[in-house]
Amino acid sequence: MFNALRNRLLGISPEEASFVKRGFPEPDPKMQPGLERVLKTFIEGYNLTLEIRDYDRLCEKLESEFDNHYVGFAFEGVGMCLCLLDLVTPGRGGRLRAFTDGPGRKHDYITTVGAGFAIIRLPWGLRKLNGYLRTLDPWVAWCVPDGIGFHQGFFRHRRFIDGAAEPPGVLPVWARQLFDSGVGRSMWWAKSASPRRIKDAIDRFPEPRRAELWCGIGVAASYAGGLPPQEQMQLLELSGEYRADLMCGVPFSARMRQKGGNPSEVTDRAFVSMIGLTTEQAANLIVQFLAELDAELARTRM
């Protein structure tokens, strides 16, 4: 009975994935079905987490039910659900860390991004943010502010995209930058992946924030993808002086797919056309960077 009540109170309706429900203006009929499928997959991952308590079985269910291109978004929904349960259950926690250290370790980045959705939806979430980040692996904890930014851009697009609202003042500087990256990612949905509409939206933001917004677009364009080659080139051209920032987001999505073992032809095409590298080559840039960073941190601790 308790589980049924919990699912009723915390479950998310698939209708929340509808562009009509979200009020996104002028959705592109060519892009809308694929983008909505991403959202439905996120919701299914979230709802399955409420039902399946065994993390090994949950991972098996997700990886058998969703294809390679979409399965990562189901794990993002898992992250939202586990963080929410961590924060609303008095005296208990550690679910998200147990999952990302255990059966969900292949998808730890995107799972942790999902935690940002839970943080911002709870009235006390931002007050708990710093403490909660300390419970997570520091190599992935930085993904949480990105998820917060995506949530705000997606669910409150009129304020945080069209109105270019500032990040929450309680966020430290590093987290505000990642918040903007998340807002940028959300534009892929709110603006139906239209290069021109994305460019116009980013131009409404103060100049110091635009680089991170373009970086978020790079992640969305390469991980969710969906643009035909000519529009991918248009996106590159419109990024102008922020082309390097746009391209900086691409290797990160490559690493998520490499580590998750969920390659996608859609993503592969985006990499070749945008940065002239294969997904594997782009992912290895992140692997090398993290190895060098880890070595540098080890030297500073000596």
Percentage above 70 pLDDT, the chain: 92
SS3 category, 193: coil
What's the pLDDT score for residue 224? 94
Question: What are the tens digits of pLDDT across the range 148-188?
Answer: 999 999 999 999 999 999 999 999 999 999 999 999 999 99
pTM: 0.92
Query: For residue 301, what pLDDT band results from cuts at 50, 70 and 90?
Result: low
Mean pLDDT for all residues in the chain: 91
Burial class (CB in 10 A: 0-12, 13-18, 19+), 173: exposed
Question: What are the tens digits of pLDDT across the range 42-67?
Answer: 999 999 999 999 999 999 999 999 99
What's the pLDDT score for residue 274? 73
Question: What are the tens digits of pLDDT across the range 268-296?
Answer: 777 667 777 777 887 787 878 777 766 76
Query: The tokens of 298 are what?
Result: 């080890």
Q: How many helices (H) and strands (E) does the chain have?
A: 18, 0
Percentage above 90 pLDDT, the chain: 73
What's the pLDDT score for residue 8? 54
What's the pLDDT score for residue 25? 86
Alpha-carbon gap, residue 141 to 126, rounded angstroms = 14
Question: What are the tens digits of pLDDT across the range 200-213?
Answer: 999 999 999 999 99
Question: What are the tens digits of pLDDT across the range 9-28?
Answer: 578 998 988 999 999 988 88
Can you tell me which residue has the tokens 């003042």?
Answer: 169
Alpha-carbon gap, residue 231 to 68, rounded angstroms = 24
What's the pLDDT score for residue 27? 85
- Contacts of residue 184, defined as CB under 8 A and 6 or more positions apart, other chains included, come to 149, 153, 202, 212, 213, 214, 215, 216, 217, 219, 220
Average pLDDT over residues 183-204: 97
Give, to the nearest 10 degrees, the angle between helix 108-121 and helix 243-260: 110
User: Which position has the higher pLDDT, 89 or 70?
Assistant: 70
Can you tell me which residue has the tokens 């996120």?
Answer: 42
DSSP 265: H
146: pLDDT strictly greater than 50: yes
Domain ranges of the chain: 31-141, 149-296
What's the pLDDT score for residue 5? 44
What's the pLDDT score for residue 204? 97
235: pLDDT strictly greater than 80: yes
Residue (of 141, 140, 160) closest to 150 by Cα position = 160
* Residue 271 Rama label (left phi>0; alpha psi -120 to 50; beta): alpha
Render 92-146 in DSSP notation, one character per residue: ---HHHHHHHTTTGGGHHHHHHHHHHHHHHSTTHHHHHHHHHTTS-HHHHTHHHH
Query: The tokens of 177 are what?
Result: 């930058």
